[in-house]
Amino acid sequence: MSILASPQSAVRPRSDRPVAAWQLELRQAIRDPEVLLSVLRLEAACALAAGQFPLFVPPSYLARIEHGNPADPLLRQVWPAAEEDTPSPGFTADPVHDAQSALQPGLLKKYAGRALMVVTGACAIHCRYCFRRHFPYDETPPSEAAWSNSLQAIAQDSSIEEIILSGGDPLTVTDERLAWLINRLADIPHLKRLRVHTRLPIMIPSRATKDLLECLTGTRLTPIMVIHANHAQELDDAVADSLDRLRRAGVLLLNQAVLLRGVNDSLEAQAELNLRLIDLGVTPYYLHQLDRVQGAAHFEVPIDEGRRIMAELRRRLPGYAVPRYVQEIPGEFHKAVL
């Protein structure tokens, strides 16, 4: 088993290039729980897990956490709570059976017409409920050599029309290296769409650089970005600006969220999140039932409760603002709508 890799392994700026603002933020991320508690004035308020999944919180996300509030919904997503160490029956290291969908290390194919590249194991934040928190990222280093194997396999399978760049977070890779990868993907004639799964425009809004916009929109592939916001408090003015730049450049923006106990398990939280997304030009796409990954049982909301929240949400919001409530069931050909 492995944990998420250090972002530095993905960033690797060339020594002759200035370090971008978003790269500096990654370097300045808080990794020490004691420091986080001290900054948030929460000493002795939160018990700590002894587990191996490290804390990682970039400054711009930290700035959105309310000081002195141990129940803050953004803090809960990143705090290594002691409950992570409690064994929970049915919660496993690979809840969605990624290992069985691997065509080769770093390339997964679960659904018709689509393949998913694990571009890197690095992230801009460590979400405690992440279903890939135990993924063997050491088998898929963020290197052109590893990507080339995946490119070759994609080129040989003409049924693949859409490539999903995932991880970790693919936007922890520099623009220069992303452009290399995307240009090679665009050279594969049967690919039509480029989808990027990322939390970076939310975690570090300065990540939406001019070079990034160019490499996402500069090929014949249709660019789609699936961001990941779980609470309206994540969507401040800087994030709004970052999403606006992406949208104006021609990137289709969708959001996926996870239903999380203590974060967004209420009608009010869901209504506020999805209306804010609509106002920022992002279509609410999925609300995921939690994948039952080891260490995340304290985040689980029973499906019946999720259905009740969704029923109330449908009564309150226009249809376009209501995401589909879904669950990934290993071995199925599509996600189950709950």
Q: Which residues bind ligand SF4 (CB under 6 A)?
A: 4, 123, 125-127, 130, 132, 167-169, 199
CA atoms within 13 A on the CB side of 77: 28
Measured from the CB of residue 53, what is the shortest distance to ligand SF4 in angstroms? 9
* Distance from C-alpha of 53 to C-alpha of 166, rounded to nearest angstrom: 19
Nearer to ligand SF4, 57 or 181 (CB): 57
Tell me the residue type at 26: L
Nearer to ligand SF4, 125 or 321 (CB): 125
Measured from the CB of residue 168, what is the shortest distance to ligand SF4 in angstroms? 6
Best CA proximity match to 151, nearest among 110, 107, 194, 93: 107
Measured from the CB of residue 167, what is the shortest distance to ligand SF4 in angstroms? 6
Measured from the CB of residue 271, what is the shortest distance to ligand SF4 in angstroms? 23
Measured from the CB of residue 295, what is the shortest distance to ligand SF4 in angstroms? 12
Nearer to ligand SF4, 192 or 292 (CB): 292
Measured from the CB of residue 68, what is the shortest distance to ligand SF4 in angstroms? 25
* Distance from C-alpha of 310 to C-alpha of 304, rounded to nearest angstrom: 10
Nearer to ligand SF4, 127 or 188 (CB): 127
Nearer to ligand SF4, 168 or 284 (CB): 168
Nearer to ligand SF4, 91 or 267 (CB): 91
Measured from the CB of residue 41, what is the shortest distance to ligand SF4 in angstroms? 25
List helix spans (H) across the chain: 7-11, 21-27, 33-39, 59-62, 73-78, 98-101, 144-155, 175-186, 200-203, 210-217, 237-249, 267-279, 303-316
Q: What separation in angstroms does the CA of 298 have from each of 12, 66, 86, 185, 329?
A: 35, 21, 9, 39, 20
Structure tokens at 228: 């990941």
Contacts of 317-321 spanning 24+ positions with Cβ under 8 A: 317/271, 317/274, 317/275, 320/278, 320/283, 321/274, 321/275, 321/277, 321/278, 321/284
Nearer to ligand SF4, 188 or 253 (CB): 253
Measured from the CB of residue 221, what is the shortest distance to ligand SF4 in angstroms? 22
Nearer to ligand SF4, 30 or 123 (CB): 123
Find where tokens 């220069």 sit.
176
Instruction: Tell how strand 102-104 and strand 107-108 pair up.
Output: antiparallel
* Distance from C-alpha of 312 to C-alpha of 270, rounded to nearest angstrom: 10
Best CA proximity match to 129, nearest among 183, 73, 208, 192: 73
3-state DSSP of 275-294: HHHHHCCCEEEEEECCCCEC
Q: By the 8 A CB rule, do 5 and 137 touch?
A: yes
Indicate the DSSP class of residue 323.
-
Measured from the CB of residue 81, what is the shortest distance to ligand SF4 in angstroms? 15
Nearer to ligand SF4, 199 or 231 (CB): 199
